[in-house]
Amino acid sequence: MSKEPLFSKKNKSLLTDPLDDNNPVTVQVLGICSALAITVQLKPAIVMALSVLFVLSVANVVVSLLRSLIPSRIRIIVQLVVIATLVILVDEVLKAFVYDVSKELSVFVGLIITNCIIMGRLEAFALANSPWKSFLDGLGNAFGYGWILIAVAFFRELLGSGTLFGYPVLENLGIYDLGYENNGMMILPPMALVTVGVIIWVQRMRNNKLIESN
Amino acid sequence: MQDLANIFIKSIFIDNMVFAYFLGMCSYLAISKTVKTSVGMGFAVIFVLSITVPLNYLLVNFVLDKGALVWLHDDFHDVDLSFLSFIMFIAVIASMVQLVEMLVEKFSPALYSSLGIFLPLIAVNCAILGGSLFMQERAYNNITEAIVFGLGSGIGWFLAIVGIAAIREKIRYSHVPPALRGLGITFIITGLMGIAFMSFMGIKL
């Protein structure tokens, strides 16, 4: 087998495809579970995206290294153990350094274990590819997940409470004086779903090949 | 008794797994194309939740919590194993799901073939692990409350998936903008259903 350059065209597309054409959230429909509940504000959303980035890329590499050793019958348990170990690490680190955010994320850090993105990528990619490719795939998918999370959180925080990272943007712009009111609805859980729905809508209008038949 | 009824109603309607916490969304979106399969999936979730939540409750209170190991020996009164809870919960859940899968395969092959790949996926259904984590966070007083909470959460999830499946079956005949078809419209309908469920907020017996 001839050696491939580290950033060959194929490897680059592993990194960029999940951003749009093969986005884990809006196209593969993975990882919505823990994604939506923590998007009321930007800060927890970014912490969540970074945690998933770490867990996904490391788990992908570990499983890819072990892939010839894992008997296929018990692979789910092995994968869960790898993921759970990484998530416990992330949880302890968050508790130690950003306690308030960790409190806010509550059970959702633990739910990274069952985040379907991670299981899905391990099953679909890491079990069949080399560690470096799996690492790129993990990074790409985590970025694809992260940007959706951050986009949703951006709109929800801006329209719902008029702040970004807790900084009162709209108040400083003087928009309230013109009679603008915050839309309290955006903070409530159902609007996260609608926001994602609208993102999917916009994405598919731009990208016709993603449209479903019915 | 009243407390139990309160927990039951609360876990079905107010703290609904899907609408309030977005748990179990992956299988919720993937399996809700027809009512029949979604009913099967819903029952599987109710069953697994009402078994794993009490099991994990016992685990928390007799093994993992600070001082929970006192029944073994007095020396253990300040041992705190709660950092292990994620891995223990997921082990209990994965083995229970394996068991349920074998039972369903034996007693209802038709249901088994229609659920297909999704039965093993219950192991990574966030609603199941979420149930156990919420149980730990809310610190229920006794095991009956934990059972009622698990059952109620399962029923809430069941209602949500059967509801969305019924709507999706009907919406096939309506004119949805092409870019919204499938996933997009499902998200928006789920949002609207969530708003409807919010009207239950504040109900207390």
How would you class A20 by CB atoms within 10 Å of its CB: exposed for 0-12, middle for 13-18, buried for 19 or more?
A: middle
A114 touches chain B (CB under 8 A): yes
Confidence bin at B101 (pLDDT 50/70/90): confident
Q: Which two tokens stand for residue A48?
A: 């969540």
Give the best-scoring range by mean pLDDT among A3-7, A176-180, B26-30, B151-155. B151-155
CB contact under 8 A, B123 and A76: yes
| Residue pairs spanning A and B at CB distance below 8 A | 145
Residues A58-77: tens digit of each pLDDT = 988 888 888 888 777 777 77
Which chain A residue shows the shortest CA-CA distance from B174? A214
The Cα–Cα gap between A208 and A205 comes to 6
Tell me whether 0.85 is exceeded by the ipTM: no
The Cα–Cα gap between A149 and A199 comes to 11
Residue among A73, A107, A198 with most chain B CBs within 10 A, to mutate: A107
Residues A146-172: tens digit of each pLDDT = 888 888 888 888 888 777 877 777 777
Q: Which residues pair with A182 in a beta bridge?
A: none
Chain B residues near residue A92 by CB distance under 8 angstroms: 83
CB contact under 8 A, A32 and B29: yes
Chain B residues near residue A90 by CB distance under 8 angstroms: none
Chain A residues near residue B170 by CB distance under 8 angstroms: none
DSSP string, A51-79: HHHHHHHHHHHHHHHHTTTS-GGGHHHHH
Average pLDDT, chain B: 81
DSSP string, A122-164: HHHTGGGS-HHHHHHHHHHHHHHHHHHHHHHHHHHHHHHHS-B
Q: Amino acid identity of B202?
A: G
With left for phi above 0 and alpha for psi between -120 and 50, is residue B202 left, alpha or beta? left
Q: Amino acid identity of A194?
A: V
A55 touches chain B (CB under 8 A): no
Q: Specify the pTM.
A: 0.81
Q: Which residues pair with A167 in a beta bridge?
A: A164
Q: Which two tokens stand for residue B197?
A: 């469920």
Residue among B56, B88, B89, B90 with most chain A CBs within 10 A, to mutate: B90
Helix (H) or strand (E) holding B28: helix B25-31
Are the beta carbons of A31 and A149 closer than 8 angstroms? no
Chain B residues near residue A95 by CB distance under 8 angstroms: none
Residue among A193, A201, A208, A211 with most chain B CBs within 10 A, to mutate: A193
The Cα–Cα gap between B115 and B135 comes to 28
Residues B21-32: tens digit of each pLDDT = 878 887 788 778
Rounded to the nearest 5°, which phi and psi values hold at B135?
Answer: -60, -40
Q: State the Cα torsion A36-A39-A40-A45 to the nearest 10°.
A: 150
With left for phi above 0 and alpha for psi between -120 and 50, is residue A174 left, alpha or beta? left
CB contact under 8 A, B124 and A114: yes
Q: What is the pLDDT of residue B140?
A: 80
CB contact under 8 A, A84 and B87: yes
Are the beta carbons of B27 and B40 closer than 8 angstroms? no
B165, B193, B154, B124: which is closest to B37 by C-alpha? B165
Residue for token pair 């099967």: B40
Are the beta carbons of B161 and B42 closer than 8 angstroms? yes
A189 touches chain B (CB under 8 A): yes
A20 touches chain B (CB under 8 A): no
Chain A, residues 155-184, CB within 8 A of chain B, namely none
Chain B residues near residue A77 by CB distance under 8 angstroms: 91, 94
Residues B2-22: tens digit of each pLDDT = 888 888 888 888 888 888 887
Chain B residues near residue A188 by CB distance under 8 angstroms: 194-195, 198
